[in-house]
Structure 1
Amino acid sequence: MTLLQPFIEFAFMRRALVACIALSLSATPLGVFLLLRRMSLVGDALSHAVLPGAAIGYLISGLSLVAMGIGGIIAGLSVALLSGAVSRYTPLREDASFAGFYLGSLALGVTLVSLRGSSVDLLHVLFGSLLAVDNPSLLLVSAIASVTLLALALIYRPLVIDAFDPAFLRAQSRWAALLVHALFLILVVTNLVAGFQVLGTLMCVGLMMLPAAASRFWRKELPGMVGTAMTLGLIASFSGLSASFYLALPAGPAVVLCAALLFFISILVGPCGGILRARFFTVDKEKR
């Protein structure tokens, strides 16, 4: 009961936990597919790409949830489309074009926020304020999570095919392949915008990618990886918020730090390629 006490007594802890649960259920499956498609750093790039749009919304309406969210979605999708166009029509690879656009977007966003806001506002945008999540933010995050899970269920089969054999999907239907890729990027951007509302632009990608990367060391089949990633995200959310309450740590970084700790534990003892397990298994095999 000691661990549950903060969530029973304080409404702001309950709202923060519900927001993290929603993100864990919707963002971590996207992280698994980003890993399968070898686009891990694209998630990080898009998390920074939403910053200029959010900053413009902030300049227009202050810390308005709707304005910053719409601006972030527009900016993130613009960077994704521009990066795809550059990689398609120039010799530059997609990862390099994403890197160029996201670095420029990050610098532009920080500059725009600094034009009007204080250092406190800048820290709020970059690192979020998980314990200050209000009801409108919670509704937005929950709605995005619900739509994401429904959309993933609808495009699951072509998304799996596109992850493992994109040439086959393009051979079947080029337009279907483009549509699946576009819908996937839209889901990634919208979940990063939801995470931006809670964890900030620099932290939101951590809850998307760290549990997804850790799940690779626990399960080999795709459904198992998705379920494990969700579970690890939930564990990181609960343990991070508990640590932030009892140890007086910033809540958002505490959640991501717990996710990173689970990632390192998975590297060491995970049954599917963990360092220690592989070493002991090799020693036992040699003894036999």
Structure 2
Amino acid sequence: MNAYEFLVGPFVQYAFMTRALVGAMIIAVSAGPVGVFLMLRRMSLSGDAMAHAILPGAGVGFLVAGLQVLPMTIGGFAAGLIVAVLAGLVSRLTIQREDTSLAAFYLISLALGVMLVSLRGSNVDLMHVLFGTVLALNNDALLMIGSVATISLVSLALIWRPLFAECLDPNFLRSVSGAGQPVHLIFLALVVLNLVGGFQALGTLLAVGLMMLPAAAARFWVRSLEALCAVAVGIGLVSSYLGLLVSYHWSIPSGPAIILVAGAIYVGSLFAGARGVIRTRMTSPRHRIA
């Protein structure tokens, strides 16, 4: 097998591989910048919580129409928004912090969603919802993922400056402008929207991986916000491509393969990145050669 057959052949020969690659790359382009803002706002685990929160809505969509893209997408988006709003209300009306409220609601949502899918579906259907089927993406799913990416990127461009200001000092933004709370809510909606888009390909349990791992890896290479977003998108694209290749050639489930490649890039960046462990140790005052 030559290099072309190994690296390009699967995507040329098989339409399902082409659709999988296109879908995963669209998700990477959309979710990467969102993951960067989640990381900068110290909300990385909140993204994981909201990924689980969409499950009961997707379960209701499954009960109504089976494994149809639109009902499960609408249901998942509605459920994610409800959980995010409820967590915010609890944190504002009680002594409990927002991350604790999210943890409580996502555990309830996860159990409820699994129960709903199990009422009508088989174990195969449950695995589809939890871990996705990137190799089974059809044209409707690609259209939905593309629409999610378009809405997400346009919305991020519109709220870029106040969102960045909120990352630096949310209390200052709220004191000088009334945009703080609306921007926070819009951003949470974009997080849910991207998780719903990713859920079609990677499932509820892995969708957050393509959002957070590239962003976390990018932090070890660059500093500026624009560069962080660009590097995160690049890592997501590479992870999608290499993950699908690994899946094809070694018969590994595609969704986990993509996330494991992203995880390997994160670990590599942790040690070898421009701001990673090795470079930091070499340039620290204690290790400089006089």
Instruction: Give the TM-score band, short-chain normalised.
Output: over 0.9
Name 2:71's counterpart in structure 1. 67
User: What amino acid sits opposite 2:282 in the alignment?
Assistant: F
Determine which of 180, 203, 219 is the counterpart of 2:183: 180
Name 1:287's counterpart in structure 2. 289
Corresponding residue SS for 1:201 = helix
- Gap runs ≥5 in structure 1: none
- 2 CA distance for matches of 1:40 and 1:282? 28
What are the residue-to-residue correspondences of 1:102-251 with 2, within 5 Å? 102-174=106-178, 176-251=179-254
- 1 CA distance for matches of 2:37 and 2:286? 34
- 2 CA distance for matches of 1:286 and 1:79? 50
- 2 CA distance for matches of 1:171 and 1:124? 45
- 1 CA distance for matches of 2:63 and 2:106? 20
- 2 CA distance for matches of 1:105 and 1:171? 34
- Gap runs ≥5 in structure 2: none
User: What amino acid sits opposite 2:277 in the alignment?
Assistant: I
Residue 281 of structure 2 contacts residue 287 of structure 2 at CA under 8 Å; is this kept in 1? no
Corresponding residue SS for 1:191 = helix
Name 2:266's counterpart in structure 1. 263
User: What amino acid sits opposite 2:126 in the alignment?
Assistant: L
- Give 4+ residue runs of structure 1 displaced > 6 Å after superposition: none
Distance change >3 Å, CA 144–CA 90, structure 1 → 2: same
Q: CA deviation at 1:77?
A: 0.1
User: What amino acid sits opposite 2:161 in the alignment?
Assistant: R
User: What amino acid sits opposite 1:147 in the alignment?
Assistant: I
What are the residue-to-residue correspondences of 1:38-117 with 2, within 5 Å? 38-117=42-121
Q: CA deviation at 1:173?
A: 2.0
Deviates more, 1:278-287 or 1:43-52: 278-287
Cα deviation, 1:225-260, whole Å, max 9, x if unaligned, reads: 111100000110000001001111100000000000
- 2 CA distance for matches of 1:270 and 1:58? 43
Cα deviation, 1:1-52, whole Å, max 9, x if unaligned, reads: 2301111111111101111111111101000000111110110000000000
RMSD: 1.1
Cα deviation, 1:172-228, whole Å, max 9, x if unaligned, reads: 223x11111111011110110000111000000000000001110000111111111
Give the structure-1-normalised TM-score: 0.97
- 2 CA distance for matches of 1:164 and 1:173? 14
Name 2:26's counterpart in structure 1. 22
Give the structure-2-normalised TM-score: 0.97
Residue 206 of structure 2 contacts residue 259 of structure 2 at CA under 8 Å; is this kept in 1? yes
- 2 CA distance for matches of 1:225 and 1:62? 39
